[in-house]
Amino acid sequence: MRCESCHAEKLVAFSCKRRGFCPSCGGRRMAETAALLIDEVLPRQPVRQWVLSLPFALRYLLATRPEMLTRVLGIVYRAISGNLIRKAGLTRASAATGAVTLISASARR
């Protein structure tokens, strides 16, 4: 960036308008989502946390194919919810399950 008044230059690592990803905006969205979950969603229902870790090759594939990621997450959700429903002694018709899916892109090898 360059100041129009004094012409001083400053290096900016990320920009919302140029790269499509901004740590500041991402941090704000993350904080808003966390507040919504804590204040309105999670306190009302019992919660179980599940973590799905995928091999790196599959992570790269799903990162470039969002429609495929949606299908994979749907399959995982149906498997987990079906298991919980069976363990509770209920049927799919009498039970209600839900999911909050958060994708972490920061996993390291």
Q: Tell me, yes or no, whether 88 and 65 share the same domain.
A: yes
Domain that holds residue 54: 48-109
93-106 tens-digit pLDDT? 999 888 888 777 66
Q: At CA 29, angle to CA 73 and CA 98, rounded to 5? A: 35
- Mean pLDDT throughout 85-99? 92
Number of structural domains in the chain = 2
Q: Tell me, yes or no, whether 3 and 27 share the same domain.
A: yes
- Going by C-beta distance under 8 Å and a sequence separation of 6 or more, which residues neighbour residue 107? 53, 59
**SS3 of residue 2 by DSSP:** strand
Q: Tell me, yes or no, whether 100 and 67 share the same domain.
A: yes
Query: Is the distance from CB of 32 to CB of 24 less than 8 angstroms?
Result: no
Radius of gyration of the chain from Cα atoms? 20
27-76 tens-digit pLDDT? 778 888 888 888 888 877 788 888 888 888 898 898 889 899 999 999 99
